[in-house]
Amino acid sequence: MAFEWTGPWTTGAGVTERSFRLARAAGGVPGVLWRPQPAASAPPVVLLGHGGSGHKRSERNVSLARWFAARGIAAMAIDGPYHGDRVRAPMTPREYQARIAAEGTEAVLDRMAGDWQAALAALGNLGVVRASNVGYLGLSMATRFGLPLAAVMGSRLRCAVFGKFGLVQGPALPEALAVPERVAADARRVTSPVVFHVQWHDDVFPRDGQLRLFDLLGSADKQLIAYPGPHGETRPEAVVTWRAFIASHLARSA
């Protein structure tokens, strides 16, 4: 597992960040680490997943990373499969969905969970984050890819914000992406405290399938939050809840 920094430390807007690349069997994993400034030794870290058609440095990720950095928490993001710097040019949803289906949805879930773990281990080994004090925050596609990670990590994951995803997907998504038995099996293995976010009028993942997914989560400490509006909407107070939940858990276990 070869890790390399692919750029210098750069500082701006109260956060220091650095790009990295991890060589893995299935290809390189491009990532970015944001650190609190001044650098604490081995701060807790939140893994920030991005949604479909997004990338590791999406506006939301950068904004979240800055917020966490100001509170002594590092953040790390990697590009999703067939997203960001993993591909030469941005793919349309139809394109990346077809690639995921061609590779095999479950294989891609496993690969991405492995990528997250490898990147976390590498940063932990370098001493730039405390790999034993980690949370996950990612909605929609990032919950699709986050659940298998949370299932594998078990109680080593301190907390997770999931949502905008469910056991059932709407007709806009290709059928090959739907692996409800796998999603259910992963959900049952999740044990970390979870905040699960539902858009009450989600037009991509039907509400009932999201409520059933919440129901299946193995976590004793889980909370559902729901707001009116379609899949693409996120109210500011929801982001406030996500951040406070992650920060309180990572601070508590620091």
What is the contact surface with a copy of itself in residues (CB under 8 A)? 198, 200, 211, 214-215, 220, 222-228, 237
Residue 188 Cβ vs a copy of itself, minimum distance, rounded to whole Å: 14
Select 173 or 239, whichever has its Cβ closest to a copy of itself.
239
Residues whose CB falls within 8 Å of the CB of residue 245, separated by 6 or more in sequence, listed in order? 159, 161, 193, 195, 223
The DSSP-derived string for 182-235 is: HHHHHHHH--S-EEEEEETT-SSS-HHHHHHHHHH---SSEEEEEESS-TT---
Identify which of 43, 14, 46 has the alpha carbon closest to the alpha carbon of residue 243.
46
Structure token pair of residue 182: 């796998």
Pick the closer one to a copy of itself by CB: 91 or 226: 226
Nearer to a copy of itself, 61 or 199 (CB): 199
Phi, psi of 67 (to 5 degrees): -65, -45
Minimum distance of a copy of itself from residue 174's CB (angstroms): 29
Closest to a copy of itself by CB, 240 or 254: 240
State the nearest-atom distance from the C-beta of 105 to a copy of itself, in Å: 29
Shortest distance, CB of residue 145 to a copy of itself, whole angstroms? Answer: 24
